[in-house]
Amino acid sequence: MAVATVDVRTCIIARVTTDDGVVGIGESVVARYFTGESLASASDLIGGVLAGALAGRDPCDLIGLRTLMARIIVGNNAARAAVEMALHDVVAQAAGVPLYEFYGGRRRPSVPTIWHVSGGTPASLANEAGEAASEGFPLVKIKVGSADVEHDIAATLAVRDAVGPGVELLPDANQGWDHSQAMRYLKAVAEADPGFVEQPLPRWDLLGMARLNAASPVTVAADEGIFDANGLRTALAVGAVGAVVAKLMKAAGPLGVREMFSVADEAGIGVHFAGMAGQTSIGAAHAAHLALAVPNLRFGSGISPHYITDDVVTERFLPVAGHLHPSDEPGLGVRIDEESLSRYRTDR
């Protein structure tokens, strides 16, 4: 969040195995503060309820399986997303195509991704952001939303000066402000031309977001306040957003994210397709495959596997000059390192 440091991240990995021996994998971050899930609840759900419900069914019936999961489970979007990702990996492998081809084909040569800066002085944040821009990162996200709005304003303006006009600047308040604080910030940073300001108000305050969006000189985006396509439709109906942040763990998987993109396209608003800081290469690669294929990536991606110190795969999936390049191998193209996975497992 904008006012906290995350040192350890908890993730759930799902594996789906077919009768033919094809193994698909998926992953979600589990965070009570975001989706209400824990490792224990997600593990119990995937290994118990979903394993029993999906056993023996056709993995190619992706819409039917998604509908089934939604019918027997309320919420638990991160757990459902991990399973749906694994199913998509299975089907793409069986078809002999990389996931991005399964999702409709490559629409861009690579996926632009982000560098985050937070927690420092305006000068230190500007220095870090400038270094990221020089390394090729086309987007910089600055964490704001603190009680010291003037500090956040100064930091945002300093970061813009450091990265120049060619880098997309995306401040993220993580629900940190009230209306007056948010409006003070939005008016003050308009000269920095941010692409949007993300979730300035609490997730539940949809009408407050609408009032803010109507008066703001800067596009207002929602993350925590919009999980899926239905939530986006509601937000659009009241004028609460001019952009949206999509995540696999929010939308309960790739099909939910694609529906969010469709709604955004129809409304003419931009999408930022984000991951979660601390996710492994498994979840990041899934998101990147989908990001290659979606039509509307106006605000790039926030897929950031480069923020973990270790991983659970044989070859880390990392950006090159600020861009991600998903594998051309069938399916996800990422393989679990069983020794590393065993070292980090906490469920046994």
CATH of the domain at 61: 3.30.390.10
**Is residue 87 a part of any domain in this protein?**
yes
For residue 276, tell me if it sits in a domain: yes
Same-domain pairing of 161 and 288: yes
Do 178 and 302 belong to one domain? Answer: yes
Domain assignment present for residue 220? The answer is: yes
Same domain, 340 and 290: no
pLDDT in tens, 230-261: 999 999 999 999 999 999 999 999 999 999 99
Residues 107 and 28 both lie in one domain: no
Residue 135 binned pLDDT confidence (cut-offs 50, 70, 90): very high
Position 3 scores a pLDDT of 46
Tell me, yes or no, whether 331 lies in a domain.
no
Residue 195 sits in the same domain as residue 254: yes
How do residues 91-124 score in pLDDT, each as one tens digit? 999 999 999 999 999 999 999 999 999 999 999 9
6-41 pLDDT, tens digit each: 678 899 999 999 999 999 999 999 988 898 999 999
Residue 45 has pLDDT above 80, yes or no: yes
| Number of compact structural domains in the chain | 2
- Which pLDDT value is given to residue 4? 53
Residues 213 and 269 in one domain: yes
Question: For 300-323, what is the mean pLDDT?
Answer: 94
170 and 199 fall within a common domain: yes
Residue 6: the pLDDT is 66
Residues spanned by the domain of 51 = 11-97+336-344
User: Does any domain span residue 211?
Assistant: yes
Share of the chain above pLDDT 90, in %: 91
Residue 3 lies inside a defined structural domain of this protein: no
pLDDT of the residue at 1: 43
Q: For residue 248, which of 3, 95, 34, 18 has the smallest C-alpha distance?
A: 34
Rounded distance, CA 178 to CA 202, Å? Answer: 8
User: What average pLDDT does range 147-158 have in this prediction?
Assistant: 98
Residue at 1 is within a domain: no
In this structure, the answer to whether residues 89 and 206 fall within a common structural domain is no
In 3D space, the residue among 122, 59, 129, 66 whose CA is nearest the CA of residue 87 turns out to be: 59
The residue-averaged pLDDT of 195-202 equals 98
Is there a single domain that holds both residue 211 and residue 318? yes
CATH number of domain containing 178: 3.20.20.120
Say what the pLDDT of residue 278 is: 85
pLDDT of residue 347: 73
The stretch 167-174 carries a mean pLDDT of 98
- Any alpha helices (H) in the chain, and if so which ranges? 32-35, 39-44, 51-54, 62-72, 77-95, 99-102, 122-134, 149-163, 179-189, 206-215, 229-237, 248-251, 254-267, 281-293, 338-344
Residues 28 and 145 in one domain: no
Let me know whether 306 and 191 are in one domain: yes
* Whole-number pLDDT of residue 296: 87
The per-residue pLDDT for 319 is 96
The Cα 70–Cα 37 span in angstroms is 16
d(CA 292, CA 99): 10
Residue 326 tokens, joined: 């998903």
Q: Which two tokens stand for residue 306?
A: 């480069």
In one letter, which amino acid is 310? Answer: D
pLDDT at 346: 84
What is the DSSP secondary structure assignment for residue 117, as one 8-state letter? E
- Residue 209 has a pLDDT of 98
Q: Does the pLDDT of residue 197 top 70, yes or no?
A: yes
Q: What is the mean pLDDT of residues 177-198?
A: 98
Cβ-based neighbour number of residue 120 at 10 Å: 12
User: 165: Cβ–Cβ under 8 A, 6 or more apart, which residues?
Assistant: 193
Mean residue pLDDT across the chain: 95
Which distant-in-sequence residues (6+ apart) come within 8 Å of 208 by Cβ?
Answer: 179, 201, 202
